[in-house]
Amino acid sequence: MIDRLWQLAARHIDGFLLSVALCIAALGLGVLYSASDQNLSRVAAQGVNLGVALVVMWGVANLSPQTLKRSAIPLYLLGIALLLAVALFGDVVNGARRWLHLGVTRIQPSELMKIALPLMLAWYFEKHEASLKLRDFAIATLLIGAPMLLIVRQPDLGTALLLAASGGYVLFLAGLSWKIITALGAAGAAGLPLLWPLLHDYQRERVLTLFDPMRDPLGAGYHIIQSTIAIGSGGVLGKGWLQGTQAHLDFLPERHTDFIFAVYGEEFGLLGNIVLLVLYALLIGRGLLITASASTLFGRLLAGAISLMFFTYAFVNMGMVSGILPVVGVPLPLVSYGGTAMVTLFLGIGILMSVQTHRKLVKS
């Protein structure tokens, strides 16, 4: 009886994906304990976030891709509406208007959009699958542009670019011609100098400090200098759990969120970093495999975009903390402290599972 219940519950769960995700999340809780100066209540809070996220994942995994498809438009519109609401009534945290207060909790609607946008695009492309024309790509670009603009205005250029990336992945996988991709790439490279004057000063500062962190040791270069010292001093084997010094010396005010990787890199060293990279590679690889074997265009595009999103977040965050990318506010997936991101990421995993496990039922 219990076995049957278990089977029923686990029917739509991809064991491999879940195991890898849980491994990363467990590592994350461990680092968080260290990064928060052994603050158990913070770890407990993140544990609750994880629990909620797992329930969400299970729920989504049990939904069929058809249901997901139906939810595409409402979710997208909800996301846009919430972004508008943030622009009008949002809370200001650290100088940017990103949060929306919902009585008991605050949410960051741009997080929801990270899932809603690929969903919407995948729905759109499947609907017009039979006759994909350039016009469809133009419309898709508009669908990406609208939320992007709202997020740029928050101002949160980093998240806006990541959102553009997630939309771009769908376009790429849907078969946007190489000519256009090359053209866009070239235009983008050529347009960079034009974009420069439009950036906020602090954003410019962040890019400049990437090349010369010492130009502003109290300002923008500060985080990069400190986080590279932390990682570099970790060496091959690391200083050991709770033994890190650099990351703890009040150098990194965001050390339990965006800069948590500095703590990890210092305490677990190159070896730890490789383990984490491999775990992410396994997670992304599994996602891409699910993508390759999905039975519908919708499933393929959605699963592909989500897998690549995981990659993007992990890459951008680690790149930023280790000083090869400009500082943008991106959490390290499944590791950084924060409820909204955790739920969104497991929601993505749930979608991957849904695409994977409903495959045969769909194929008939």
Partner 1 sequence: MKHTEIKNPERELFLFRRRLAVAAVLVLGALLGLMARFVYLQVVRHEEFRTLAESNRISVVPVVPNRGIITDRHGTVLANNYSAYTIEITPSKVKNIESTLDDLAAVIEITPRDRKRFKKLSEESKNFESLPIRTRLTDEEVARFAANRFRFPGVDIKARLFRQYPYGEVASHVLGYIGRVNDKDLERIARAEQTANYKGTDYIGKVGIELSYEHELHGQTGVEEVEIDAGGRAVRTLSRTPPTSGNNLRLSLDIKLQKYAEDLFGARRGALVAIEPGTGDILAFVSKPGYDPNLFVEGIDTQNWEALNNSADKPLLNRPMRGAYPPGSTFKPFMALWALEHNRRTPAQGISDPGYFTLGNHTWRDDKKGGHGWVDMYTSIVHSCDTYYYKLGSESDIDDIHAFLKLFSFGQTTGIDIEGELAGVLPSREWKRNRFKRDPKWQPGDSVSAAIGQGYNTFTPLQMATAMATLANDGVAYQPHLVKAIENIRSGEVRKVAPQASHQVPVKEAHVQVVKRALIGVNAEGTGARAFAGAGYLSGGKTGTAQVVAMKEGPYDASKVEERFRDHAWFIAYAPADKPRIALAVLVENAGFGAQHAAPVARQVFDYYLLGKVTAVPPPTPPREARHD
Task: Select the residue interacting with partner 1 from 146, 222, 241, 329 (CB under 8 A).
Answer: 222
Task: Select the residue interacting with partner 1 from 3, 138, 250, 360 (CB under 8 A).
Answer: 250
Site for partner 1 in 166-205 (CB under 8 A): 169, 172-173, 175, 201-202
User: What is the strand order of the sheet 91-93 is part of?
Assistant: 91-93, 96-102, 105-107
Residue (79 or 272) nearer to partner 1, CB: 272
Reference 356, options 310, 313, 314, 307; nearest CA is 307
Phi, psi (5° rounding) for residue 258?
-65, -30
Site for partner 1 in 123-152 (CB under 8 A): 130-131
Q: Least distance in Å: CB of 54 to partner 1?
A: 25
Which of left, alpha, beta for 209 (phi over 0: left; psi -120 to 50: alpha)?
alpha
**Is 81 a binder of partner 1 (CB under 8 A)?**
no
Q: Least distance in Å: CB of 228 to partner 1?
A: 6
Residue (184 or 288) nearer to partner 1, CB: 288
Decide if 66 contacts 352 (C-beta within 8 A): no
Q: Least distance in Å: CB of 109 to partner 1?
A: 19
> Which window, 1-9, 10-18, 68-76, 290-298, contacts partner 1 (CB under 8 A)?
290-298
**Is 216 a binder of partner 1 (CB under 8 A)?**
yes
SS3 101: strand
Residue (195 or 324) nearer to partner 1, CB: 324
**Is 320 a binder of partner 1 (CB under 8 A)?**
no
Rounded distance between C-alpha atoms, residue 119 and residue 183, angstroms = 26
Rounded distance between C-alpha atoms, residue 82 and residue 267, angstroms = 39
| Cβ burial, residue 129 (10 Å; 0-12/13-18/19+) | middle
Reference 12, options 355, 294, 364; nearest CA is 355
Residue (6 or 202) nearer to partner 1, CB: 202
Decide if 247 contacts 255 (C-beta within 8 A): yes
Reference 108, options 127, 126, 130, 86; nearest CA is 86
Residue (322 or 336) nearer to partner 1, CB: 322
Residue (84 or 324) nearer to partner 1, CB: 324
**Is 269 a binder of partner 1 (CB under 8 A)?**
yes
Please report, for residues 4, 111, 150, 363, the alpha-carbon distance to residue 117 in angstroms, rounded to integers and kept in the order given: 37, 10, 13, 26
Which residues of this protein are in contact with partner 1, per CB under 8 A?
Answer: 36-37, 39, 92-95, 130-131, 169, 172-173, 175, 201-202, 216-220, 222, 228-236, 245-246, 248-251, 253, 265, 269-270, 273-274, 277, 280-281, 284-285, 288, 291-292, 297, 300, 304, 308, 311, 315, 318-319, 322-324
